[in-house]
């Protein structure tokens, strides 16, 4: 089969582009080297929907950020995912830095960001009582929000698949070649032909760009370490608290999450190894030190897990978006605010491809995607009705997050169903609570075996090399 467009990468950017293309008539394919969507940069970030005051006016970052932010309320309703506009503060700790704070305000105004104001330290502390006593002023951005990056990416991908986009996992793109009629894409699972190729490969996007474009890109993997705190710490702040940006971004933030936890991070270190996702003692110590600058008494003894994510920093410090070779479209260098910008990037790139190929609007596009029902979000009457309809919803598997057998089974058999422990976790939150899978992982593994016809030694945490149970040997 020859496709109208092949998308490389099933992160939030690739999935957003896929969903927007699914509004058109055509054949579209997403190639992903991992075994699931949201396995790279999109799974490990700050989960912030930025307001858009940080990027330089006139850049793609600024344009996509503001547009993506505006789209998020409607999108979250269509995709059935949690999103809250909790606002954000950028705190100033020194009167001498006030010009930098005003510069951020002016930049936000130039970018078209609504709801910006500068508060005194006293005014800010009236809204956030745990702000540091050193805070002398703060920029308040009312439109900033928090979201679940897993659920956003899954929602976009499942919506795209529901509307006809094909996804192939475990399929690594190895080479791209121009032909007289389009593109020849060589993968680990065979060859694919397409009229156009869309490069949304995250930290590896420069590799594919440089195979076909005269003007080269260079992407550096910039690692950021995080700590996630228990839900008992989730109300320590009500809004996202940033510090004034430095050379490597906004510094360490402290933020609530949509699921009631508290998030601290990230660090920012450029590394050569694009596969290095290990946390370090030095990085975690930096989080402890820097988080205390803007927020006092952060309860770091309530950390339940730490993790590290990689951001795709392009040397030009902006998103690379558009047709950079004949029939080849880049969505490269997508670092922060990439999560916030993804919906707008999807519209932009899909629009360019649709114009290129003269694709018609699809009459039957359905924007609504329903996620797995959440037992813990139901009232008593709704729970009773759901359990009567499906008794498996009455069997709790994950006690920390109150996730039932029914939810896990539905996630396994969904439109892009879970095939691993992490796949179940991202779709249902089973294993994301205080015990971090200590109680529920054996039961989830049993369900994966039962529903997919696997043996225990075939169950994986995420990729093919993440075996959990080893076969007995003599």
Q: Which of 420, 400, 272 is nearest to 408 (CA)?
A: 420
User: Do the beta carbons of residue 311 and residue 335 sit within 8 Å?
Assistant: yes
Alpha-carbon span 51 to 144, nearest angstrom: 5
Q: How far apart are CA 418 and CA 437, in angstroms?
A: 16
Active-site annotation holder among 50, 209, 236, 313: 50
Peptide bond before residue 266 is cis, with ω within 30 degrees of 0:
yes
CB 23 within 8 A of CB 363: no
Whether the CB-CB separation of 190 and 27 falls below 8 Å is answered with no
Helix H segments across 22-148?
60-79, 98-111, 121-127
User: Which stretches within 328-372 are classed as H helix?
Assistant: 338-357
Sign of CA dihedral 143, 148, 152, 155: negative
Say how many C-beta atoms besides its own lie within 10 A of residue 259's C-beta: 18
The reply to whether 413 belongs to the active site is no
Region of 158 (left: φ > 0; alpha: ψ -120 to 50; beta: rest) is alpha
Strands 190-199 and 2-8 turn out to be: parallel
Provide the 8-state DSSP code for 359.
P
Dist. CA 360–CA 313, nearest whole Å:
35
CA angle in degrees (0–180, nearest 5) for 186-319-331: 25
Token pair listed for 148: 């679940």
Residues 167, 410: Cα–Cα separation, whole Å = 19
Active site residues: 50
């Amino acid at each position: 089969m020859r496709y109208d467009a092949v998308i490389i990468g099933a992160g939030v950017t690739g999935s957003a582009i896929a969903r927007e293309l699914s509004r058109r008539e055509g054949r579209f394919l997403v190639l992903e080297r991992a075994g699931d969507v949201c396995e790279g940069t999109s799974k490990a970030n700050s989960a912030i929907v930025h307001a858009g005051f940080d990027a330089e006016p006139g850049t793609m970052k600024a344009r996509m950020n503001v547009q993506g932010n505006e789209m998020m309320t409607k999108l979250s309703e269509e995709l059935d995912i949690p999103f809250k506009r909790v606002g954000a503060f950028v705190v100033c700790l020194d009167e001498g830095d006030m010009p930098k704070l005003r510069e951020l305000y002016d930049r936000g105004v130039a970018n078209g960001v609504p709801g910006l104001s500068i508060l005194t330290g006293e005014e800010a502390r009236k809204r956030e009582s745990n702000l540091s006593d050193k805070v002398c002023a703060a920029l308040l951005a009312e439109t900033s929000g928090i979201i679940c990056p897993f659920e956003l990416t899954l929602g976009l991908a499942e919506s795209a698949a529901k509307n006809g986009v094909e996804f192939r996992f475990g399929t690594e793109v190895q080479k791209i070649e121009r032909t007289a009629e389009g593109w020849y894409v060589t993968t680990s699972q065979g060859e694919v032909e397409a009229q156009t190729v869309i490069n949304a490969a995250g930290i590896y996007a420069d590799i594919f760009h440089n195979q076909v474009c005269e003007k080269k890109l260079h992407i550096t993997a910039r690692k950021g370490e995080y700590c996630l705190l228990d839900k008992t710490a989730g109300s320590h702040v009500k809004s996202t608290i940033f510090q004034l940006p430095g050379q490597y971004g906004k510094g360490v933030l402290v933020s609530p999450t949509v699921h009631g936890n508290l998030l601290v991070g990230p660090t920012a270190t450029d590394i050569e190894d694009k596969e290095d996702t290990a946390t370090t003692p030095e990085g975690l110590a930096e989080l402890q030190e820097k988080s205390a600058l803007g927020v006092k008494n952060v309860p770091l003894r309530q950390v339940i897990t730490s993790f590290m994510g990689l951001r795709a920093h392009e040397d030009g410090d902006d998103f690379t978006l558009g047709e950079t070779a004949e029939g080849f479209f880049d969505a490269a260098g997508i670092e922060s605010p990439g999560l916030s910008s993804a919906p707008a990037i999807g519209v932009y790139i899909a629009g360019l491809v649709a114009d290129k190929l003269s694709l018609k609007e699809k009459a039957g596009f359905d924007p609504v995607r329903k996620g797995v029902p959440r037992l813990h979000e139901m009232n008593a009457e709704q729970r009773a009705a759901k359990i009567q309809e499906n008794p498996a919803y009455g069997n709790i598997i994950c006690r920390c997050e109150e996730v039932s057998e029914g939810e896990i089974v539905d996630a396994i058999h969904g439109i892009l169903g879970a095939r691993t422990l992490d796949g179940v976790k991202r779709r249902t939150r089973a294993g994301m609570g205080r015990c971090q899978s200590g109680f529920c992982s054996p039961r989830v593994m049993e369900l994966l075996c039962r529903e997919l016809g696997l043996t225990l030694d075939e169950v994986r945490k995420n990729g093919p090399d993440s075996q959990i149970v080893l076969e007995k040997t003599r």
